[in-house]
Each structure stands twice: as structure tokens, then as C-alpha cells.
Amino acid sequence: MKKILLIIPFLIAGLYTNAQTNTYQKDSIVIAKMQGYILENSVCYEDLRVLCKTIGNRISGSDAAAKAVEWGKLALRNAGADKVYLQPVMVPHWVRGIEEFAITTKAGKKQAFHPLGLGNTIGTSADGISNDVIEVRNMEELEKLGIENINGKIVFFNHPWNQHVSNPFNEYGNSVYYRWAGPSLAAKFGATACLIRSAGSGYDDFAHTGSMRYDSNFKKIPAMALSYKEANELEKLLRANNVAKGMLLSTSHFEADVLSYNVIGEINGSDLKDEIITVGGHLDSWDIGEGAHDDGAGCVQSIEVIRAMKKMGIKPRRTVRCVLFMNEENGLKGGNEYARLAVELKEKHICAIETDAGGFSPRGFSMSCSKAHRAKIQSWKKLFYPLGVYDFDEEGGGADIGPLHKNLGTPVMELSPDPQRYFDLHHTANDVFEQVNRRELSMGALVLASMVYMIGEYGLE
């Protein structure tokens, strides 16, 4: 009896290992099938070219964003989605106007810069703002100078990007603070306008924009960014005490909210169709460049998940829903509306995956979910190693699917591509189609499709 009791666990372990091996073989065959299709025949790179070159940048509320909605609908239909539909949502419409910044040197010479307004900034009066410029490197310096030194001046937040940090996403979190909150922090001390050194990693002439938020306790002041090179130039002039005055002009403003849409395409699940897996990126972009990496790449990769499954005849057990979210960049209205409707319709969302970190070589998935969910995903790691994907440890999840996680507790994940070049390009005029590599973009689509397939087959419970 004792002998038999000792043998049973080995028998069970043996059966379990066999079952796992069989599953592994079956799944690796499916993934290899998608690999052949996506890496050789995928049209996601061509989809991206059409989006970038025929529509271009597409800030929420713009005519280009409306065209992008039509593009997304057609691309999902062409990918073979069982159902394609739009989810209406009202979005803000911020319009960039004329933007100027110049200084007059102590010798009376005028020197013009090429500023880029921060997203959502107000403009100036028609005469612009003409005042002293004062440099601060961080919040501590601003507070030390205090209202007596700041009042009435143009504050230049000269916070440098810390190149020591190995993962640029971590440094973005530090730098972006001055973009997001800087203008109101400066206004608190009486500043009349705010300039920031770009919150990006590039050593170039491309200024970096992105959302800022006004604190309603303080006066709204106009805010602009300078590129790395121009921030160095202004720093040099200020430290040489060679700036007599700064002149800043902007006609940027908000117009009335506009009706727009999340674009959705689905593959119906076979036997568990009520269980939904969302995979998506955001369709809107900033109003410069072409929104190629941010986030045209994520949109075409998500569409590719649908296409690869349909073309390969893969029938997911659960419903796979590709969502091209609207207004991630300056309002998150699309993501919020998607989650609101999910609650209202009592939908069962078992997982949501976003791809919004650039179309570079995939390295892993970050996730926000329970330990058990993470353990299940990590048990599939071996399937991803041949694709160069090994990192399943980080916390994360995308902005658009954040409300789903918050309101429904949905486990969320984000594709993590190699991060080293993203912040050289992101939110700049240099985020164009030519910066995206076909092979890297397709590898991201393949890894995404593989993960969606696994969750479609086995769920996360």
C-alpha cells in the first residue's frame, strides 16, 4: 500500500507532463503557422504606410482623425473581422496655432527659436508676452527662488533627460512631470508663461510635445517646449547673462468638442464567445509627424491579430476584439467610454492587451493582474523564447485599457518592445513611417497574435 501511495504522485506528474508536452506541441505548431504568415505575407507594414502617408497625423477632433476612423473600419473589414462597428464618443478638439519664441540679447540682437506648444496649452494675446526669462532646473529651484524672483517672468524649466537610466520609460516618468504639471507650478509663483526642455531622449532639433494639465487653483499660462539643441542654446545665453527679454506668441486654442469613434473589429469566439479579449492601440496621434510609432504601429499590429487568425483559419474559443481607441493623447475619452459601456452591457472581459510603446522588436509583456494570472502567462514562456520574448515580470498595462482594469478589474497587459529609441521619436515631428522597420513591426504583431491565441484557447483562470 505504502509503495502504491508513493508511486501515484509520480504517475500523476508523468501524465501532467505528457499533457503539457502535447499542448506545447499543438500550440507551437499554431504559432509557427502564424509566424510563417505574418513574417512573410503580413500587410501590417503597408497598412501603416497608408495611415501615415495618406492621412498623416490625426489629433482628436481633426478632419484627419475622422479619416483615420474610416481607414480603421476598412482595414478591419479587409482583415476579415466577423463584425466591424463604431463606438461613438465626444472628444476634445485642440488646435495648434502660430507658435513663436525669441529672445533679445543684451546687445539688442533678436534670436528666434522654434518652440512647440504643449498639448492643450492656451494661447497668448495677439501681442504675445514679452518678459524676462528665468531658468530653473527643478521644483526645488523654483521654490527657492519664490514669488519675489519669479513673478511676471517666463519660467524655463531646464530639466535634463537623465541618460544614465537604462529603461527610457522610467526616465520619461521623471521628465514628463515638468511637461504635465510645470506650467501650473510656474503660475503658482506668478510666471506669465512657461518653457520646458523637451521631455525626450533625442540629441537633436525635434521638440517634444504631449499633454499638460492646468491646475484650476492657478492662472492658466501658455506653455511650450524647446528641442534638446535649442534648450542648450537658451541655457548658454541665460547663463552668460546675455538675455535682455523673451518674447512668446501663441494662437493655440480649443474648439468645440467633436463626435468621434472607437473603431472595433471582432472574431466571434467558438464555444466561449461571451468571454472577451481586447487587443488594441490608439488611433489618434499628436498633430506633428505621422504618429507612426505612437501609435499607428499598435493599431496595425492589433488589426494583424485579426487578419492572421482569419487567414490561418484559427478559431479562438473566446471572442477576440480589436479596438482602435480614440483620444488617448489628450483626454482618454475613448478608453473611458469603452469601459463605461463594458459595465453597462455587463460584458465579461477576461483580458485586455494594449500595444502603445512603439513598433520595435518585441521583448516581453508587462501586466497588471493577480499572481495566479501572471503565473499562468509565465507558464507559456517557452513558446515565446524563440521569438526573442522573455520578459514577463514587469508591472504595466496601457492607458486606454486602464479604465477597464479600474472599473471591472480586468487583467491588463502591454506589449513591451525594445525601448531605447522610442523617446527619440515619440511626440515629435520625427515620428514618421520611415522610422518603423517592417521586420520589427511584424515581429511585434506575431508576438501579440501568439499571446491572444493562447489566452483565447486557455483563458487566464
Kindly determine how many residues on this chain lie close enough to bind Zn ion according to the rule CB under 5 A: 3
Beta carbon nearer to Zn ion, 266 or 284: 284
Q: Choose the catalytic residue: 135, 328, 337, 440.
A: 328
Strands 193-197 and 223-226: parallel
Nearer residue to Zn ion within complex by CB, 327 or 450? 327
Which range binds Zn ion by CB under 5 A, 136-144, 255-263, 348-356, 417-425?
Answer: 348-356
Q: Which is nearer to Zn ion, 290 or 294 (CB)?
A: 294
Burial of 178 (0-12, 13-18, 19+ CB in 10 A): buried
Exposed (0-12), middle (13-18) or buried (19+): which is 28, by Cβ within 10 Å? middle
Q: For the CB of residue 269, give the shortest distance to Zn ion in the complex, in Å.
A: 28
Strands (E) located in 96-132: 99-105, 110-113, 116-117, 129-131
Considering the rule CB under 5 A, would residue 356 count as an interface residue with Zn ion? yes
For the chain, the helix, strand and coil percentages under 3-state DSSP, each to the nearest 5: 45, 25, 35
- Which residues ranging from 263 to 302 are in contact with Zn ion (CB under 5 A)? 294-295
414 touching Zn ion, by CB under 5 A: no
Identify which of residues 200 and 456 has a Cβ nearer to Zn ion in the complex. Answer: 200
65 versus 194: smaller Cβ distance to Zn ion: 65
For residue 351, count other CB atoms closer than 10 A to its CB. 26
Whose CA is closest to 445, among 1, 37, 8, 13? 37
What is the nearest approach in angstroms of Zn ion to the Cβ of residue 85? 23
How far apart, in whole angstroms, are the C-alpha atoms of residue 10 and residue 228? 63
CB of 294 to Zn ion, least distance (A): 4
As measured in angstroms, the least distance from the Cβ of 304 to Zn ion is 18
Cross-sheet strand order for the sheet of 99-105: 110-113, 99-105, 243-250, 129-131
Residue 295 C-beta: closest distance to Zn ion, Å: 4
Our CB check for Zn ion shows the closer of 117 and 210 to be 210
Give dist(CA 76, CA 306) in Å, integer.
8
Q: What phi and psi, each to the nearest 5 degrees, are found at residue 218?
A: -125, 165
Stretch touching Zn ion by CB under 5 A, among 122-130, 198-206, 238-246, 356-364: 356-364
- Closest of 17, 37, 54, 39 to residue 433, by C-alpha: 54
Active site includes 328?
yes
State how far the Cα of 62 lies from the Cα of 59, in Å rounded to an integer.
6
Which one, of 380, 349, 344, lies nearest residue 277 by Cα? 349
- Least distance to Zn ion from the beta carbon of 356, Å? 4
Q: Side by side, which strands form the sheet with 412-417?
A: 83-95, 253-267, 318-325, 272-282, 348-354, 412-417, 362-368
Report in angstroms how near the CB of residue 205 gets to Zn ion at its nearest: 22
Cell output for 114: 522654434
- What residues make contact with Zn ion under the rule CB under 5 A? 294-295, 356
Active site residues: 328
